[in-house]
Chain A
């Protein structure tokens, strides 16, 4: 079986001529099903750019991106939307929930675009909220929830459509240490259930939850190694 995610010489440049910025510069990597990967690196090293390309929100300027062995770098907007809808889930640093919509409605959102009937959407959304430990908070607005709870809603939203991969760009960036570890335990549990997780973080103890660490420097992949088994299991 081909890897779930594979980059072959992926570059992403912004601007032209003198002002050209190489956010990614000839990156090769591959991620298998079921992996839990942490991406680290200094600010501006291309981590988010790589996540956006993996998430089909962006396209490489050069190189190939294969998802389950299929080249997707040249897919049109609609096909990339389909891929996001059915295979990918996002968790953002800033949560990105819809204000003034309840937790349940937020989790239902991806299911609306899959055309599921209301009853099934609600059932699935409740299940996802249950999985992240938010049963009883279905009717709360984001403004009525703590940061940690909001991030759980976001994770439930990513979960609701049964994705193969959850992409989390600094999911604990806005949370205190206690909440951060709770969120990581949740992601770890989801990973044990078989969901592939790719996560960007700045913190070693957060990265330690992953099994594998990728380090970016100046748009290049400079390290690719297993996280020490002891740390990743302990917490």
Chain B
């Protein structure tokens, strides 16, 4: 009996293709929106986790000045770090590696090619902190660091801009007015959490940048990799204790530097993600509701149009329950059809969006199942009222209709 009802619903639905399409359009759009939102949301979370994982776990970034959201405050007046500060942090037992970072915006030139990029003065430990392998060549040796030699390691983007496909190792590029020998090229990392190009950089020994490019002994920040099994809280506390001591900060005075955890960034991005996904999903939920009302509307019209048919069915012995079931099943089949089309469309949109935004495409079976179940629910909820109206028709009046 149920099978008869389902196949009857299909027959009715197939006979009115255009109407069926218009009826389910609302549900299609609603479901497609939900699926696209959630799938893209999950893709960008996966992207955030991936880029955080690439940073290495428990990487702390130490900067002068205090910092909330937004730009550092008091960063301009707070005393800078020195190379000694980085060495002191590296000596801590909780710390694996600590690398100073002196950053300097420069144009680098090789032959006719040039590239505006960020030059980071640091130590060989920088790539260890960042868990970043070299694609070719080598990093700095300690003697090059202590001497402040004019040597460099290129990010992939800079290497491509200056050298195209040829091998930069052993070549000499010009940074500002310094001739600088290329030792190696970093492996490509792609875009970061904010979509920035992580490969657009040049690494040089910190002393080389300080003396030859900046003309001072400042260190802008220190990147610290904690040892495995050291918690971020413990690591931050140890770093703070050492730096307060070295910077002679009194017991009652606040820090004039900040320590941020890589997880902080991921939590923040994750939070933004959640808020956005929630917001867009509630918009999608509203469109699903509108879709349900669309189905109810058409089902009511259908019940009126088919009053005589209902009368005939009642006369040949259909019970009110069987008539109710017929229209309910029809509404559910309609909304499931809309749901199925919406799922396909939503996944297609999510796929396109993922490719466009260069984030992973992470379709979720659970979400698809949920959307399908939700479509069925919409059919039942919004189909019930029209179906009940059909079932309550008086057979004599229904037979006499029009």
B357 proximal to A (CB < 8 A): no
Kindly report which residue of chain B lies nearest to residue A158, judged by CB atoms. Answer: B316
Kindly report which residue of chain A lies nearest to residue B319, judged by CB atoms. Answer: A81
- Docked complex: B377-402 residues within 8 A CB-CB of A: 395-396, 399
When distances are taken between beta carbons in the complex, the residues of chain A under 8 Å from B4 are 112
Contact of A86 among B15, B317, B318 (CB under 8 A): B317
A52 proximal to B (CB < 8 A): yes
Whole-angstrom distance between the Cβ of B397 and the nearest chain A Cβ: 10
A157 proximal to B (CB < 8 A): yes
A84 to B319, CA, bound (A): 10
Q: Are A109 and B316 interface neighbours, CB within 8 A?
A: yes
Given contacts A96-B308, A98-B309, A100-B15, contact A115 B316 (CB under 8 A): no
Contact of B399 among A96, A100, A161 (CB under 8 A): A96
Whole-angstrom distance between the Cβ of A93 and the nearest chain B Cβ: 11
Interface residues on B, range: 20 to 34
A90 proximal to B (CB < 8 A): yes
Kindly report which residue of chain A lies nearest to residue B4, judged by CB atoms. Answer: A112
Q: Are B318 and A81 interface neighbours, CB within 8 A?
A: yes
Kindly report which residue of chain B lies nearest to residue A96, judged by CB atoms. Answer: B312
Q: Indicate with 1 or 0, residue by residue over B294-326, a CB within 8 angstroms of chain A CB atoms.
A: 000000000000001101111111111110000
A161 to B322, CA, bound (A): 18
B76 proximal to A (CB < 8 A): no
Contact of A98 among B1, B312, B319, B396 (CB under 8 A): B312
Q: Are A57 and B317 interface neighbours, CB within 8 A?
A: no
Q: Are B322 and A96 interface neighbours, CB within 8 A?
A: no
Kindly report which residue of chain B lies nearest to residue A109, judged by CB atoms. Answer: B316
Whole-angstrom distance between the Cβ of A133 and the nearest chain B Cβ: 21
When distances are taken between beta carbons in the complex, the residues of chain A under 8 Å from B314 are 57, 81, 84
Q: Are A113 and B315 interface neighbours, CB within 8 A?
A: no
Q: Are B308 and A77 interface neighbours, CB within 8 A?
A: no
When distances are taken between beta carbons in the complex, the residues of chain B under 8 Å from A113 are 313, 316-319, 322
A152 to B1, CA, bound (A): 27
Q: Are A114 and B320 interface neighbours, CB within 8 A?
A: no
Q: Are B322 and A90 interface neighbours, CB within 8 A?
A: no
Whole-angstrom distance between the Cβ of A44 and the nearest chain B Cβ: 15
Kindly report which residue of chain A lies nearest to residue B309, judged by CB atoms. Answer: A98
A148 proximal to B (CB < 8 A): no
User: How many residues from A make CB contacts under 8 Å with B?
Assistant: 25
Kindly report which residue of chain B lies nearest to residue A81, judged by CB atoms. Answer: B319
- Docked complex: B315-351 residues within 8 A CB-CB of A: 315-322
Given contacts A98-B312, A100-B15, contact A115 B1 (CB under 8 A): yes
When distances are taken between beta carbons in the complex, the residues of chain A under 8 Å from B315 are 55, 57, 84, 90, 96
A52 to B314, CA, bound (A): 13
When distances are taken between beta carbons in the complex, the residues of chain B under 8 Å from A110 are 316-317
Q: Are A92 and B316 interface neighbours, CB within 8 A?
A: no
Whole-angstrom distance between the Cβ of B92 and the nearest chain A Cβ: 81
A201 to B316, CA, bound (A): 22
Q: Are B395 and A114 interface neighbours, CB within 8 A?
A: no
Kindly report which residue of chain A lies nearest to residue B398, judged by CB atoms. Answer: A57
Kindly report which residue of chain B lies nearest to residue A88, judged by CB atoms. Answer: B317
Given contacts A57-B395, A57-B396, A96-B399, contact A109 B321 (CB under 8 A): no
Q: Indicate with 1 or 0, residue by residue over A141-176, a CB within 8 angstroms of chain B CB atoms.
A: 000000000000000010001000000000000000
When distances are taken between beta carbons in the complex, the residues of chain B under 8 Å from A92 are 399
Given contacts A58-B396, A92-B399, A100-B15, contact A109 B319 (CB under 8 A): no
A202 proximal to B (CB < 8 A): no
When distances are taken between beta carbons in the complex, the residues of chain B under 8 Å from A100 are 15
When distances are taken between beta carbons in the complex, the residues of chain B under 8 Å from A131 are none
Contact residues of A with B, CB < 8 Å? 52, 55, 57-58, 77-78, 81-82, 84-86, 90, 92, 96-98, 100, 109-110, 112-115, 157, 161
19 contacts between A and B (CB under 8 A): A55-B315, A57-B395, A57-B396, A77-B319, A78-B321, A81-B314, A81-B317, A82-B317, A85-B318, A90-B315, A92-B399, A97-B312, A100-B15, A109-B313, A112-B1, A112-B4, A113-B317, A113-B318, A113-B322
Interchain residue pairs A-B with the least CB separation, the first 3: A85-B317, A110-B316, A81-B319
